[in-house]
Amino acid sequence: MKLDSPLLNCENHYPALVVGGGIVGAGIFRDLSIHGIPTLLVEKKDFSSQTSQSSSKMLHGGIRYLENLDFALVWEALHEKNLWLKLAPHLCKEKAFYMPVYKDALRPLWMVRCGLMLYDFLSSYQNSPYQVLGKEESLKKLNHLRSEGLTGSGIYYDAIVDDAKLTLEVIYDGLIEKNSQALNHVSLESVEKKDNIYKCHLKDTLSGDMRVITTDNLIFATGPFTDHLMKKLDIVKWENKLLPSKGSHLWISKKSLNIDHPVVLTPKDGRVIFVIPQNEKVLVGTTEVQPEEDFFDVKASHLEIDYLIHNLNEYFPGAKVSKSSILSTFSGIRPLVKDESGDKGKTAREHKLYQPRSNMYLMLGGKYTTFRVMASDVAREICSKYRIPYNSNKTKSPLRQTSAVLPFDSSTLTRENVMLALEFEKVRTFEDLISRRLGIPHKDHWNHQLSYSEFFTPMIKEMSHFISVPKEI
Ligand SMILES: Cc1cc2nc3c(=O)[nH]c(=O)nc-3n(C[C@H](O)[C@H](O)[C@H](O)COP(=O)(O)OP(=O)(O)OC[C@H]3O[C@@H](n4cnc5c(N)ncnc54)[C@H](O)[C@@H]3O)c2cc1C
């Protein structure tokens, strides 16, 4: 059955068009829609299928940015984290993060204690209070941890998040407002400006349909893809603004590393590796390398995998983690904005808004955690043009459409909820459904009383009313 392209059903003109359906584009779309500005969001792949599903899946203040004295950034991110814990408690959970400290560490235990005190202070004491444990208590709490040289551990509180789902629900929330529309698998191919209006040539990448849609305000939230896209579109004189940096993660089976709490490893190379248990699996990451390939759908290299496994074995020698413990891997490109010195280590996670042409906006940098603030910087500018009073409190209300299948509640993975996701959650391919609406990055993650094919095969006919289903499931 041929399915109609949603591109054919939208309006010819929108006051605002947002390019990029990661968390930043989603936030801008929601904010403008809530302020009554009809907005079109277009995303070349599926919503949240690039950087915004490849993060370390934490809403956090960024404890390590304290070393760079980035207090304003840490304050802002901690307040956003604590806000989202209230607004989307089904997608974000507070967790105690353990930071083991060894005799030869770059940061001794007294320094860690000072950092944690400052971290709680910067959260306006909304964080659950930090603690410092001695060696024996730390070993009791953290299975398999190397005891030799251990002096103790610091504990602080941050949040884990389903990054793909939060992005999706932010988009669904914007869609509740009348006259806004969000299209996945629709790419901006070229742009012309005529009489103060942008003519945008859009392509449905699944059906091949093309359409021209006009807008008064063109907003780019294309993250790490921005420099390449600006060169391709050639509508402004653009110097590269980004210092892209690739980071990879592993999902390993909890059978090989049975820990109960998130742990922060601080290897001697000065990097930080998070090890975060979630149900029956453990997230491990990340790396920091120069990206070589095309930035879309990047993959972890052997070197990155070896680096993460090596560090796990250094810290948890009793666990014997190996490549066979890996369930799947994922990678993304950090959209860091260049620091004047060009040093990646110093490049902060601050965001910047560029306006290279009238009524054209590019939002770059930042972190997942601070997306609402990034969005409000754009929405405030556009609202002022339409003389709409901007009120950032409007985006501080809970999300109104919850996903059918929830990340931290495996009981919601039912056939009925899969059908609800297909009907109401903008699914266009089987991969959209499996990876992001159901949160299954790979078949090896499947954990249900029915096998993968026993679960999906009886639904093939119903599913094919919404998407084309692969011949073999
Ligand atoms: C390894 C790693 C770990 C991280 N961990 C954390 C963390 O734990 N916490 C945190 O707060 N932050 C974290 N971050 C940062 C965070 O993930 C990013 O800042 C954020 O996801 C960027 O979102 P974005 O919307 O700007 O980019 P993206 O999510 O990449 O969205 C941009 C979108 O633009 C689309 N696009 C490109 N070209 C076109 C076109 N022509 N037409 C239409 N669409 C187009 C792309 O397909 C893409 O989906 C991490 C980043 C990385 C890489």
170 Cβ below 6 A of ligand 1: no
Distance of CA 23 from the midpoint of ligand 1 (Å): 7
Q: Nearest C-alpha to atom 15 of ligand 1 is from which residue? A: 367
User: How many residues appear in the chain?
Assistant: 473
Q: What is the pLDDT of residues 372-400, one digit of tens each?
A: 999 999 999 999 999 999 999 999 999 99
Q: Rounded to an integer, what distance in angstroms lies between the CA atom of residue 141 and that of residue 278?
A: 16
366 Cβ below 6 A of ligand 1: yes
Distance of CA 102 from the midpoint of ligand 1 (Å): 34
Dihedral through CA 122, CA 126, CA 127, CA 129, nearest 10? Answer: 100
| Residue 20 CB contacts under 8 Å (≥ 6 apart), including other chains | 43, 220, 221, 222, 223, 225
Report residue 346's pLDDT band, with 50, 70 and 90 as the boundaries: low
Q: Rounded to an integer, what distance in angstroms lies between the CA atom of residue 366 and that of residue 379?
A: 16
DSSP state of 128: P
367 Cβ below 6 A of ligand 1: yes
Report residue 183's pLDDT band, with 50, 70 and 90 as the boundaries: very high
Report residue 67's pLDDT band, with 50, 70 and 90 as the boundaries: confident
Section 276-280 average pLDDT = 93
Whether the Cβ atoms of residue 73 and residue 213 lie closer than 8 Å to each other? no
Distance of CA 127 from the midpoint of ligand 1 (Å): 26
Q: What is the pLDDT of residues 246-257, one digit of tens each?
A: 999 999 999 999
pLDDT over threshold 80, residue 343:
no
| Residue 231 CB contacts under 8 Å (≥ 6 apart), including other chains | 238
Which is more confidently placed, 268 or 231?
231
Q: What is the pLDDT of residues 144-167, one digit of tens each?
A: 999 999 999 999 999 999 999 999
**What residue ranges of the chain are covered by domains with CATH 3.30.9.10?**
95-159+243-334
Q: What is the pLDDT of residues 34-58, one digit of tens each?
A: 999 999 999 999 999 999 999 999 9
357: left (phi over 0), alpha (psi -120 to 50) or beta: beta
Whether the Cβ atoms of residue 376 and residue 32 lie closer than 8 Å to each other? no
Place of tokens 């060009």: 342
pTM above 0.95, yes or no: yes
**Which of 65-69, 287-291, 315-319 has the lowest average pLDDT?**
65-69
Of the options 3.40.1010.10, 3.10.20.30, 3.30.1330.60, 3.50.50.60, the CATH number for the domain spanning 6-52+164-241+346-396: 3.50.50.60
Q: Residue 60 has which token pair?
A: 């956090």
Which atom belonging to ligand 1 lies closest to the Cα atom of 187?
42
Report residue 473's pLDDT band, with 50, 70 and 90 as the boundaries: confident
Instruction: Provide φ and ψ at 329, rounded to 5°.
Output: -130, 160
Of the options 3.30.930.10, 3.20.20.70, 3.30.565.10, 3.30.9.10, the CATH number for the domain spanning 95-159+243-334: 3.30.9.10
Which atom belonging to ligand 1 lies closest to the Cα atom of 363?
26
115 Cβ below 6 A of ligand 1: no
Which atom belonging to ligand 1 lies closest to the Cα atom of 334?
53
200 Cβ below 6 A of ligand 1: no
**What residue ranges of the chain are covered by domains with CATH 3.50.50.60?**
6-52+164-241+346-396
pLDDT over threshold 80, residue 341:
no
328: exposed, middle or buried (Cβ count in 10 Å: 0-12, 13-18, 19+): middle
